[in-house]
């Protein structure tokens, strides 16, 4: 789908206006802030919001989507599940990291001015409040509304006799053979509790000795979290197991049954010294992950003090890390309810379409992507533009084309049955040179990426694991083709992973181009990643860790110079997170000079907008919806000669210092205008969004236009017109 110009009067229009080129200007000497200018920013000691608390505010916005009665019911159910998954990962990684710093005695204040212990205490308080808010929403609103819609989530006491018989049969035939009760006594130490597993704490009494005993039963994750009873009625799996524990503990009296769940530190630490044998080192670390220290204990609020004390003692967890919640625990299982075939309770069906420049008008045969790219650059906007008929087809045609000599590609995350992987294997088996930069340290995808790396190697692909100490996070594919007029490079640079599945749910941008300068830059990049070349100079790319931060700051300062000279000056960033202090201080400096700054941030934002004297010209918005806003865009009016950059880099320390990231300057005026249209719509006054205040709180602006639905509607209009 091609984005069109959007005016403030009609941001939903489907006009065809091309941008009017501005007159060129004489370039002034670059603006360099002096000490006084920098001091005017740095005097604001509290100018940074805390990144961890900002992330919690992001997850609160996810919860607010679940609370929104205007959304379809099953979509609200899914947002409840997403909230849980998000919070799990936050504890596994971020909270675990804070605890590690405290334990190591590294009590360095964050940029926000808070010590790790202070941040941790705020996290506990905020997450406890949000978790109870989620539980209340589930019990008091979602469950009753589901019931009114004919979908019933019930507890064991609500089951009729036939349903109980059904569960009894299922327990006997399928569940009972899988269960493994683990007793705790002098001969049986307290069992290891795996991270995120749902468990039952069982108190038993031996009627012969009158002694009480403790046992743990793990709820098997291989079964559906909510057991179907028929007629769209469901009961939690732990209820079924809890009612049949006598089968497990024959001859014992069941005194108490309580569900609980442990979250563990599951972040990975692979030392650089292990880089020569990175696969083996990572596989060893994956085993260690299962035994990481606990960082959170969730229990049902009905748990007895004695059982809770036992869990706290045996797990080595503090009282602050205990979350007593109404059952059922672990609402990730609501994804299964959200997947029910009740289309009237979901967002209307959406099918991506082929980009207009890649659509064959007179034939049903797939368009030749190479021919289309030679005619014009193609700026893709997923999921509105189909990934399958653009990026995936690009790689597949390259693999099958006898004129293609080489394919070079980065892979950070991809799907389990990836056609991209299959195409690369086909290309290697056909004798083409295939280089794949596989990032096997992609968090929580490590095991899958190890499998793909070995499969690619066995097929004859050159597989490289990137640079020591850096994650390769950029999204770049380069195809080298032998054509009648010589060798031509075709380059794809995107903001999202080469993953056909997530491309249908993530909002991302990508560029397919034959621009010679971009192609040469991409070739240098791959040489840097696979060989000893260390050419850090690029013409049309900014590449972290060498030039993204400095390149963006230089352009922010340049925008100040344009504003001072009376030329058009505007900064617009769209990112998942904005945390880097150097970038933020440069934006503050631009605001103090009067440059308008608009930031569209899905997740974390450590910048305080609207602070008098510091950031009065800065506006920060956040858009969440049915698609995960994932693209990164960096826009500069540049005195009338606009620059628009897209790529993989968020404005975080890890992206700018510890990852290989790539931003590409869009080479064509039409592509730049499409980005202008997208940003105009996002910042239109009636587009619904959350707005960040100076105090770090987010509030919805009440806008009536749904950003993503507007883009879907444009696509429908074009498809109908076509």
Mind listing the pLDDT tens digit for each residue in 84-110?
Answer: 999 999 999 899 888 888 887 877 889
Of the candidates 302, 314, 324, 318, the one whose C-alpha atom is nearest the C-alpha of residue 257 is: 302
Q: Do you find a cis peptide bond into 194, omega within 30 degrees of 0?
A: no
Question: Do residues 324 and 50 touch, judged by C-beta distance below 8 A?
Answer: no
Whole-angstrom distance, CA of residue 714 vs CA of residue 709 = 9
Kindly report the CA angle at 361 between 357 and 366, in degrees rounded to 5?
75
Whole-angstrom distance, CA of residue 652 vs CA of residue 541 = 18
Residue 244 falls in the annotated catalytic set: no
Q: Do you find a cis peptide bond into 383, omega within 30 degrees of 0?
A: yes
The sign of the CA dihedral 67, 73, 77, 83 is negative
The upper half-sphere exposure of residue 487, i.e. CA atoms within 13 Å in the direction of its Cβ, equals: 9
404-411 and 475-483: which strand pairing?
antiparallel
Of the candidates 654, 690, 660, the one whose C-alpha atom is nearest the C-alpha of residue 94 is: 654
Tell me the angle at which helices 73-90 and 116-137 cross, rounded to the nearest 10 degrees: 160
Q: What is the pLDDT of residue 6?
A: 43
Cβ-count burial 165-174 (b if 16+ within 10 Å, e if not): ebbeebbeee
Whole-angstrom distance, CA of residue 478 vs CA of residue 407 = 6
Q: What is the pLDDT of residue 97?
A: 87
Whole-angstrom distance, CA of residue 648 vs CA of residue 664 = 9
Q: Cβ-count burial of 363 within 10 angstroms (0-12 exposed, 13-18 middle, 19+ buried)? A: exposed
Residue from 473, 524, 557, 562 carrying the catalytic annotation: 473
Radius of gyration of the chain (CA): 28
DSSP string, 412-441: S---TT-HHHHHHHHHHHTT-EEEEEE-TT
Cβ-count burial 75-87 (b if 16+ within 10 Å, e if not): bbbbbbbbbbebb
Strand order in the sheet with 233-236: 152-153, 233-236, 226-230
Backbone angles phi, psi at 212, to 5 degrees: -95, 145
Q: What is the pLDDT of residue 393?
A: 96
From start to end of 317-458, where are the E strands? 322-325, 378-382, 404-411, 433-438
Question: Do residues 618 and 606 touch, judged by C-beta distance below 8 A?
Answer: no
- Residues of the chain short of pLDDT 70, as ranges, are 1-29, 186-187, 267-291, 361-364, 415-416, 441-449, 532-534, 718-722
Judged by DSSP in three states, 272 sits in helix
H helix runs in 508-547, sequence order: 516-530
Whole-angstrom distance, CA of residue 285 vs CA of residue 288 = 5
Of the candidates 363, 365, 425, 364, the one whose C-alpha atom is nearest the C-alpha of residue 400 is: 425
């Amino acid at each position: 789908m091609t984005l069109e110009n959007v005016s403030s009067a009609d941001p939903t229009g489907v006009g065809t206006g091309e941008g009017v080129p501005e007159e060129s200007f004489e370039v002034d000497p670059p603006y360099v802030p002096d000490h006084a200018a920098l001091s005017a920013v740095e005097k604001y000691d509290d100018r940074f919001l805390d990144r961890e608390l900002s992330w919690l505010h992001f997850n609160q916005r996810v919860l607010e989507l679940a609370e929104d009665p205007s959304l379809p019911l099953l979509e609200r159910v899914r947002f409840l599940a997403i909230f849980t998954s998000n919070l799990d990962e936050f504890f596994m990684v971020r909270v675990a990291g804070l605890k590690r710093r405290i334990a190591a005695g590294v009590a360095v204040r964050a940029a926000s001015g808070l010590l790790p212990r202070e941040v941790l205490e705020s996290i506990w308080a905020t997450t406890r409040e949000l978790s109870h808010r989620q539980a209340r929403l589930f019990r008091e609103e979602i469950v009753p509304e589901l019931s009114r819609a004919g979908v019933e989530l019930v507890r064991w006491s609500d089951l009729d006799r036939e349903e109980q018989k059904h569960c009894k049969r299922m327990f006997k035939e399928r569940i009972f053979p899988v269960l493994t009760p683990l007793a705790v006594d002098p001969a049986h130490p307290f069992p290891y509790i795996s991270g995120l597993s749902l468990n039952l704490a069982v108190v038993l009494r031996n009627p012969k000795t009158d002694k009480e005993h403790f046992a743990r039963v793990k709820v098997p994750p291989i079964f559906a979290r909510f057991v179907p009873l028929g007629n769209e009625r469901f009961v939690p799996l732990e209820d079924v197991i809890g009612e049949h524990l006598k089968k497990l503990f024959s001859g014992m009296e069941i005194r108490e049954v309580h569900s609980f769940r442990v979250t563990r530190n599951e972040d990975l630490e692979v030392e650089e010294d292990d880089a020569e044998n990175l696969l083996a080192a990572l596989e060893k670390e994956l085993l260690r992950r299962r035994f990481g220290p606990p960082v959170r204990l969730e229990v049902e609020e009905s748990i007895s003090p004695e059982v809770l004390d036992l869990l706290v003692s045996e797990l080595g967890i503090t009282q602050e890390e205990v979350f007593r919640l109404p059952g059922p625990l672990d609402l990730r299982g609501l994804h299964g309810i959200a997947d029910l075939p009740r289309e009237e309770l979901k967002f209307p069906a959406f099918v991506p379409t082929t980009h207009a420049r890649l659509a064959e008008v007179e034939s049903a045969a797939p368009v030749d992507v190479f021919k289309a790219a030679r005619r014009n650059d193609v700026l893709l906007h997923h999921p509105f533009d189909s990934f399958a008929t653009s990026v995936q087809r690009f790689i597949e045609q390259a693999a099958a084309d006898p004129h293609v000599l080489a394919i070079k590609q980065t892979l950070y995350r991809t799907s389990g049955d990836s056609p991209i992987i299959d195409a690369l294997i086909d290309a290697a088996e056909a004798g083409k040179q295939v280089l794949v930069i596989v990032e096997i340290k992609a968090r929580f995808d490590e095991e899958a990426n190890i499998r793909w790396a070995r499969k690619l190697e066995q097929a004859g692909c050159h597989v490289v694991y990137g640079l020591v100490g850096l994650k390769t996070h950029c999204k770049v594919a380069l195809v080298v083709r032998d054509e009648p007029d010589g060798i031509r490079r075709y380059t794809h640079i995107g903001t999202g992973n080469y993953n056909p599945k997530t491309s249908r749910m993530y909002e991302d941008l990508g560029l397919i181009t034959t621009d010679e300068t971009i192609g040469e830059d991409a070739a240098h990049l791959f040489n840097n990643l696979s060989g000893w070349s260390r050419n850090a100079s690029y013409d049309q790319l900014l590449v972290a860790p060498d030039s993204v931060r400095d390149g963006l700051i230089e352009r922010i300062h340049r925008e100040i110079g344009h504003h001072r000279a009376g030329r058009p000056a505007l900064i617009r960033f769209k990112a998942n997170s904005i945390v880097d202090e150097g970038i933020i201080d440069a934006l503050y400096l631009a605001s103090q000079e009067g440059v308008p700054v608009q930031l569209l941030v899905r997740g974390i934002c450590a910048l305080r907008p609207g602070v008098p004297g510091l950031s009065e010209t800065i506006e920060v918005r956040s858009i969440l919806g049915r698609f995960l806003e994932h693209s990164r865009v960096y826009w500069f009016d540049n005195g009338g000669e606009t620059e628009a950059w897209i790529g993989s880099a968020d404005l975080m320390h890890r992206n700018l210092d510890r990852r290989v990231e790539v931003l590409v300057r869009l080479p064509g005026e039409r592509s730049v205008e499409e980005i202008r249209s997208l940003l105009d719509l996002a910042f239109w006054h009636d587009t619904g969004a959350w707005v960040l205040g100076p105090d770090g709180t987010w509030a919805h602006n009440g806008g009536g236009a749904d950003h993503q639905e507007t883009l879907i509607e444009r696509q429908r209009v074009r498809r109908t017109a076509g």
